[in-house]
Amino acid sequence: MDNISALSGPRGEFRINLQAYFDRVSYRGATEPTLETLAALVAAHVRRIPFENLDPLTGVPVVDLSAAALTAKLVTRARGGYCYEHNNLMFEVLDELGFAPQRLAARVVWMTPEGLDGPPRPQTHQALAVTIPGSDQRYLVDVGFGGQTPTAPIPLVPDAVQQTSHEPFRLREHGAEYVLETMIGQRWRPLYVLAMQPRPLIDMQVGSWYVSTYPESNFVVGLSAALVTDDARWNLRGRNLAVHAGGGTERVRFSDAAQVCAALSERFGIDLTGLGDIEATVAAVLDT
């Protein structure tokens, strides 16, 4: 863990380049720290920076969550990332704009057989609690939950339904924590159990190191990518692409790794340079 600890230096070593970030997500709106600005930034981010796990898949641990490292990868190099990268980049942006973001940890129950009824799962997801200056109201912001990423801030108020450009979301009390739910069809489904105690960056670094190196981690043994458009969600798992739009789903099954890599580059906008023989790496996990 010494390498992880060495990365947790004092804040202020690197100030994020807001204009470079705005260019990356094609944002030209207001910058005052208001709810309207927050909602617009979330919408822009999820439409431009894809969710992807190509670093863990190619054996590169994701440990450096500094503003400099995240800017270099997600902004300058036109890559994507997973929750720890997306939400720490958003943390830096919101902090620089004058919002009051806090890091939160969550236990993912989405797509698990037991859901909320199973044994406790590890806290391997990061989200943000964001306070608007001059207001006591806090919002859940999560721009890194892959195929079900909320496309708008969610009020941190129990049972308040937030309609987004895609599905409705809500937070429900779950003991001393909250569970985030989304409506699929006519049924509320749990995504993750959110602890409300703010966490320091070092906790996120440890979580990211774990999920990007643990031999059985989904991010190590399988390929995932996701992106939101104005009216659809594009979700890639291995060779299978699902495009969810208008209450229906279009499914595409790619025949080989070359087609998958073309989709990563052309559909998801991911720069695949510098990843070695990425086609061979993808070929090895097409059916996982």
CB 198 within 8 A of CB 100: no
- Domains in the chain: boundaries: 18-284
Confidence of residue 111 (pLDDT cuts 50, 70, 90): confident
Q: Look up residue 260 and give its DSSP letter.
A: H
SS3 112: coil
Q: Which of the four pLDDT bands, split at 50, 70 and 90, describes residue 106?
A: very high
Residues labelled catalytic: 83, 125, 142
* Amino acid occupying residue 279: E
* pLDDT (mean) for 209-213: 97
Question: Per residue in 186-208, pLDDT tens?
Answer: 889 999 999 999 999 999 999 99
Q: Which residues pair with 189 in a beta bridge?
A: 182
How distant is the alpha carbon of residue 224 from its chain centre?
12
Report the distance separating Cα 12 and Cα 15, nearest Å.
Answer: 6
Q: Calculate the CA dihedral of residues 72, 73, 76, 79 and round it to 10 degrees.
A: 180
pTM above 0.85, yes or no: yes
Q: From the centroid of its chain, how far is CA 49?
A: 9
Tokens of 107: 């236990």
> Higher-confidence residue: 152 or 10?
152
Write the CB contacts of 250 (distance below 8 Å, at least 6 apart in sequence).
Answer: 242, 243
Tokens linked to 234: 């594009």
- How big is the chain, counted in residues? 288
**pLDDT digit string (tens) for 67-80?**
999 999 999 999 99
* 126-151 pLDDT tens trace: 999 999 999 888 999 999 999 999 99
For residue 93, the SS3 value is: helix
Confidence at residue 118, expressed as pLDDT on a 0 to 100 scale: 75
Say yes or no: domain 18-284 is CATH 3.10.310.30: no
Residue 153 in tokens: 């801030």
Q: Compute the distance between CA of residue 131 and CA of residue 237 in angstroms, rounded to an integer.
A: 34
